[in-house]
Structure 1
Amino acid sequence: MITVVGMGAGAPVDASVTAGADLVVGGRRHLDAVPLPEEAERVVLGPLAPALDTVEKYVAEERRVVVLASGDPGFFGIVRALAERFGPRRLDVRPGVSSVAAAFARAGLPWDDAVVVSAHGRDPRTAVNLCRAHPKVAVLTGPGAGPAELGTALLGHPRTLVVASALGSAGERVERVTPAEAAARDWGTAVNVVLCLDEERALGAVRTVAGGPAGPAGWALDETEFTHRDSMITKFEVRALALARLGPRPGDLVWDVGAGSGSVAVECARLGAAVTAVEKTPDGAERVRVNAAAHGVDVQVVHGTAPDALSALDDPDAVFVGGGGRELPAVVTACARRARRTVVVAMAALDRVPAVREALTGAGFTCDGVLLQSSRLAPLPGDVTRLAATNPVFLLWGVRPPAHSEGVCQ
């Protein structure tokens, strides 16, 4: 049997759990904090694989193993690796208070509506984009993904960071800082977790299902759901296919370039992605802000003209490009060079299609597209109905293939 004991956040560990252990595995601070049998072998956790190999030898001999871990070891912890290697039935897990639960307790906030993400040993982009998109996020930090890095990435976003360090120890610190203040400090190695909060929405609504906000019940909303100018909005039929090709999801960053009303930006944000909308007209940029607020989502609005306005933005996972001016091929080229996964382009002019295809394939994307023509039901006098044709729209999309593939437009 492997006994896994969660420690930290001030909760004492019963010394009897290590009594009679033949092998005790844990971080150095965990091993120093608990009385251990003199005859027990001790393994200080570093690389996980050698420690698991040692555990396997003791398990094979049916000798007692104790693993000491931080907080709740079943929550982004060592229980997963142990269960995969030895099976859940060999584990006796005794959880402590997780650092996330302790941090929210110190902040005086409920956390059943929080998004929890680990940046420890992982690409911090996912954590950053979740912080941009959601009002309450807990980030388990790691080297290169601590408060300073999060603060730098969140400059300009209306967020407060609650930095919890050395939880449960005599040196515990819980500090509320702005992203700029977080970016300017050296936080050392004692940080356990960072809470990223939109203070105005930190309490949230009463929840039935724990976790981040549930996905929307539907998408491709009717144009009447958005403020727009003279029907200058991506129609819902086009938006439906564009969303399917963009594939926005929590942890992604999506650009909406030439955002207009921001209908695509808002829909991507409703599906959980972080979104940056680029719009060249002041009234258009304000319209995007109004629509985002009306739908209760966060959209970063950049007032500027592409492609120049794109240079200061973080690389996106997916990009939607609307409009069809002379600069469209240059804008698509700039977006395709930066996009990690896909670029979707909507245009009304047939003349722009060859140049856009060339821009996508020239950046190494595979390319496909359709001409969308739809007719909507419209009432006529006498309680009868006709079909009213909408303007045809070309939708092209480029998908970045695996590194060994070459982009070819079919």
Structure 2
Amino acid sequence: MMPVQVVGLGLDGAQGLSPVLQSLVASAKLLVGSDRHLAYFPDHPAERLSLSDFHSALAAIVRAAEAGVSPIVVLTSGDPLFFGFGRVLLSHLSPEQVAFHPQVSSMQLAFSRIKVPWQDARLVSVHGRSLEALTQALQQGAEKLAVLTDPTNSPGAIARLLTSLDLPWQYDLWVAESLGGEDERVQQWPLAAAQQTTFAPLNVVILLRQTQAPVLPTALPLLGIPDVYFASFADRPGLMTKREVRVLALGELALPADTIWDVGAGTGSVAIEMARLGPASQIYAIEKTAAGVALIEDNARRFATPQVRAIAGRAPEALEGLPDPDRVFIGGSGGQLQPILSVCRDRLRPGGRVVLALATLEHLAEVSAWSREQGWHQRCLQVQLARSTAIASLTRFTPLNPITLVTLTRSEPSPL
């Protein structure tokens, strides 16, 4: 028998162990665990070692194993190799010295209680850690998140983080408390209510990304619609021009205008905002992907902007047959930036302008070289913004990706 036997427990304690594992625990010469776990075996005759002084206890386990004490039974919660004590033991003992006997993990129980498959869930621990990994997963739009919490990074703190991030999608928040115990409670919580609630100390949080855009409120701002209200790509939910950049781009476009091209329209968020600012405008949203075209049409219906027309195809070819534009917004070029600009040069109406949102230095250099060659006037606006983000009870700034807005005109525009 390997000298160190690591046994996972649930909230039902010794009663939840199989007869074989009960016999193993009973044979222990050294019984190790937290005070809560040791309390499940009040009459055990072996020497007891509490993990309350973690580093001293770990050193004592190593010394006992080297001295030939066997078996040493270490009691842990659930699966000891799932964000548990098992990883620490393996960093101090060889695999040949340790055996693991997992119990059903809290994550298994939580997903079972809410009846959601979890083979594709993203697992994050904020227990004794920062919220950085969770923030990154939320900003990436992970579909399912399972979160191990602690008293500081509690369900309430996670709800506050979700509220502060201003994501372009929403999450359902589930809290599973005291799983397997008499006081078990599993419930979905509104974010505001979760921030005001005290939960049982043993809990996990499940976050499920909503697949549908939320119902539109009765009153929307004239300018700067929150990202969350746009239907977006299921596999790339963050792929849209962010609200703050959208507002600045709309200002650079100097709207309203009669005919507008939105090249590389994506979800149509910019086109929708254009249409709401200029109800008489005709807006052509050019998008190469079938999923993007469907989203543009969906969003046009959602926001009651029938003047937005989705054009399926790749620019510049898809621009043929469209009316000559007064304004052009280029949010994506698919590697055809110069050919698209050449079409704009030939067809832009007098007094018109082209605005580009560029994310890379290479594209900025390409546009700058083109404007010099053509003798066009170029104005650049570098956009570097940060949003406030909750970090437990504190707040910090999280930067958005920097964008350069480039406005091109045939001659220097007059001040607006």
Q: TM-score band (shorter)?
A: 0.5 to 0.7
d(CA) in 1 for partners of 2:239, 2:58: 37
For 2:127, which of 104, 120, 132 is the aligned residue? 120
Structure 2: gaps of 5 or more residues: 213-223, 251-267, 275-284, 296-357, 369-377, 388-395, 409-416
Residue aligning to 2:384: 332
Q: Which amino acid aligns with 1:140?
A: L
Q: Is the 8 A contact 1:148 1:183 kept in 2?
A: yes
Per-residue CA deviations over 1:102-141 (Å, capped at 9, x if unaligned) read 0000111111111111111111132133235112110011
Matches within 5 A, 1:122-201: 122-132=129-139, 133-155=141-163, 158-191=170-203, 193-200=204-211
d(CA) in 2 for partners of 1:166, 1:70: 12
Q: TM-score, normalised by structure 1?
A: 0.54
Residue aligning to 1:54: 60
Per-residue CA deviations over 1:268-308 (Å, capped at 9, x if unaligned) read x84999995532049517489x99994699xxxxxxxxxxx
| Alpha-carbon spacing, 1:283–1:273, altered in 2? closer, same or farther (3 Å) | closer
**In the comparison of the two structures, how many residue pairs are matched?**
263
Q: Secondary structure at the match of 2:138?
A: helix
Percent identity, aligned pairs only, is 32
| Alpha-carbon spacing, 1:294–1:44, altered in 2? closer, same or farther (3 Å) | farther
| Alpha-carbon spacing, 1:90–1:334, altered in 2? closer, same or farther (3 Å) | closer
Residue aligning to 2:102: 95
Q: Which amino acid aligns with 2:196?
A: A
1:190 Cα deviation from its structure 2 partner: 2.7
1:20 Cα deviation from its structure 2 partner: 2.7
1:3 aligns with 2:8: no
Residue aligning to 2:302: none
Per-residue CA deviations over 1:328-358 (Å, capped at 9, x if unaligned) read 35x43879xx8879965546589xxxxxxxx
Q: Secondary structure at the match of 1:110?
A: coil
Moved more, 154-163 or 71-80: 154-163
1:60 Cα deviation from its structure 2 partner: 1.3
1:22 Cα deviation from its structure 2 partner: 2.2
Matches within 5 A, 1:221-236: none
Residue aligning to 2:117: 110
RMSD over aligned CA atoms reads 4.4
d(CA) in 2 for partners of 1:199, 1:349: 36
Per-residue CA deviations over 1:195-228 (Å, capped at 9, x if unaligned) read 0012548xxxxxxxxxxxxxxxxxxxxxxxxxxx
Q: Is the 8 A contact 1:119 1:127 kept in 2?
A: yes
Moved more, 154-163 or 92-101: 154-163
Matches within 5 A, 1:222-371: 270=236, 278=244, 279-280=246-247, 281=250, 284=270, 286=272, 294=291, 328=381, 331-332=383-384, 344-346=402-404
d(CA) in 2 for partners of 1:346, 1:123: 32
Per-residue CA deviations over 1:21-41 (Å, capped at 9, x if unaligned) read 222111211111135532x22
1:12 aligns with 2:16: yes
Q: Is the 8 A contact 1:121 1:143 kept in 2?
A: no
Q: Secondary structure at the match of 2:16?
A: coil
Q: Is the 8 A contact 1:9 1:97 kept in 2?
A: no
Per-residue CA deviations over 1:150-197 (Å, capped at 9, x if unaligned) read 111112652211101111111111111122221121224232x10001
| Alpha-carbon spacing, 1:27–1:273, altered in 2? closer, same or farther (3 Å) | farther
| Alpha-carbon spacing, 1:186–1:31, altered in 2? closer, same or farther (3 Å) | same
Q: Secondary structure at the match of 2:99?
A: strand
Q: Which amino acid aligns with 2:64?
A: Y
d(CA) in 1 for partners of 2:50, 2:240: 39
Q: Is the 8 A contact 1:9 1:71 kept in 2?
A: no
d(CA) in 1 for partners of 2:184, 2:29: 32
Residue aligning to 1:41: 47
Q: Which amino acid aligns with 1:196?
A: L
Q: Is the 8 A contact 1:24 1:67 kept in 2?
A: yes
1:43 Cα deviation from its structure 2 partner: 2.1
